[in-house]
Structure 1
Amino acid sequence: MKKQILAATAAAFVMGALALPAVAQNIAIVNGKPVPKTRLVALEEQVAEQAARTGRPVPPEMAGQMREQVIAMEIFMQEAQKQGIEGSENFRKKMEMARQSVMINELFNQYQEKNPVSDAEAKAEYDRIVGAQAPAAGAKEYKARHILVEKEDQAKAIIAQLKKGGNFDDIAKKQSKDPGSGANGGDLGWANPAGYVPEFSDALKKLNKGQTTDAPVKSQFGYHVIRVDDIREAKAPELPKFDDVKPQIAQQMQQQKLMKYQEELRAKAKVE
């Protein structure tokens, strides 16, 4: 009897030991059917690739969510199979489209893996962007004010009033129809003249610091009375450091490379 108990215990131990690797290979058993760990690994790799392309880390809480997603997919798959969806014509058509989509995505993924954006390429693109943002030599910025009215006679009357000592800020608050600057005494802040409509820009560049236009300036918005409060050399906008934007630049350049590859394939194809 003792030998039989020992034999049964040994057999149970052996069976348990053999079962351990099988359990380790699955993340769950759904309705008696094992859900292999390889599905979870494949999903984790897919999420990690997407995160790498965007330069963002995978949140720690995603691990549990991905496991639950794989289990949910098995539950839904079993129900679909129970209802015989696999045998429907609609299912076969969609599977063919999905097959094509997966193959194409894999083609593009392999191309991107073989043609990555180097740090040197990303840095060159960053330098190009910085250079494009730099102001032209001798460019100036103007701190200006204006009073906008509908009729030329109104603008002429305001100019006459200013010449007699009228307060520009007060007149702008009372009469300017520009809702953005009128409430602030006509203040437009610092700006490059190129940012204004041509008529306004041309008049602005003819004024020196402290000067006001002698005649109304007509534009598509109405009639302007313009005063220049100050002038300075144009400054380049503050841009983020290369290391801070390198992932975004690399991602954009990778997309550009992929688009060029797609265009080349279409150009080489013989379509009749």
Structure 2
Amino acid sequence: MLSAQLAKSGRPVPAEMQAQLKDEVIAREVFMQEAQKRGLDASDDFKAQIELARQTILIRELFADYQKKNPVTDAEIKAEYDKFAAANGGKEYKARHILVEKEDEAKAIIASLKKGGKFDDIAKKQSKDPGSGANGGDLDWASANSYVPEFSQAMVKLNKGQTTDVPVKSQFGWHIIRVDDVREAQLPKMEEVKPQIAQQLQQQKLASFRRTCGSRPRWSELPKR
């Protein structure tokens, strides 16, 4: 029995360990007999633990049976990938920004840039964004929907190498934005993310099954005849 359970759990016992396993089975039987002789199997605590273990094992078997009979299909994986690609496809922007608190500060910075001021240097000295300021305002590659609407709407109007002529206001303050480059979104191929998608869909199916079972009326709630 122990050997079969180990094999089922994906840990088959190699031939060289069979003797060791046999000793373990014998030891378990000896301990079981001693415990029964002392009447430990008749205690309320033992019975409660047995019932809890029975429930746990049955529930685990129920979920395993559901997953076996409801596997994730390749069609479901492709549909999920297509949904992901549609939401994350399109263009990506390599942008920089300088964030300040007041509009006048932003206008002064734009004037300085037009006179030849270096965007990176000004960002390091004046930007209030702790994440990008130290890196010259660099925001790395990101899609437009990664930013607040006011920022993204202004950014997508810029061509490669272009900077906003007027400050852009958002909930964070006033931005001066520059687009360094534009490219098509670099999405992973379906085969690269297939295992993750399959696992996610399997978890979703199991969660749905758990909710369905949990919403069924309990026996005590069924109408009496």
TM-score category (smaller protein): 0.7 to 0.9
Confirm or deny that 1:267 pairs with 2:216: yes
Listed one character per residue, the Cα deviations across residues 7-65 of structure 1 (whole Å, up to 9, x for unaligned) are xxxxxxxxxxxxxxxxxxxxxxxxxxxxxxxx3223223312xxxxxxxxx5888x959
1:237-252 alignment runs, 5 A limit: 237-239=187-189, 241=191, 245-246=194-195, 250=198, 252=200
Kept in 2: contact 1:143–1:191 (CA 8 A): yes
2:56 match: 101
Kept in 2: contact 1:134–1:236 (CA 8 A): no
Confirm or deny that 1:235 pairs with 2:197: no
Pair 94,60 (structure 1): closer, same or farther in 2 beyond 3 Å: closer
Gaps of 5+ in 2: none
Determine which structure has more spread, i.e. the larger CA radius of gyration. Answer: 1
Task: Kindly provide the amino acid, as one letter, of the partner of residue 130 in structure 2.
Answer: P
Kept in 1: contact 2:98–2:177 (CA 8 A): yes
Identify which of structures 1 and 2 has the higher relative contact order when contacts are C-alpha pairs closer than 8 Å and 6+ apart: 2
Pair 182,69 (structure 1): closer, same or farther in 2 beyond 3 Å: farther
Greater alpha carbon shift after TM alignment, 192-201 vs 124-133: 124-133
Confirm or deny that 1:46 pairs with 2:8: yes
Pair 222,260 (structure 1): closer, same or farther in 2 beyond 3 Å: closer
Kept in 2: contact 1:133–1:237 (CA 8 A): no
Gaps of 5+ in 1: 1-38, 49-57
Confirm or deny that 1:150 pairs with 2:105: no
- Percent sequence identity over aligned pairs: 56
Pair 80,223 (structure 1): closer, same or farther in 2 beyond 3 Å: farther
Kept in 1: contact 2:80–2:197 (CA 8 A): no
Equivalent residue for 1:212, pick from 132, 147, 163: 163
Listed one character per residue, the Cα deviations across residues 71-119 of structure 1 (whole Å, up to 9, x for unaligned) are 7755654564454321211212222233333344444444444x152xx
Pair 175,85 (structure 1): closer, same or farther in 2 beyond 3 Å: same
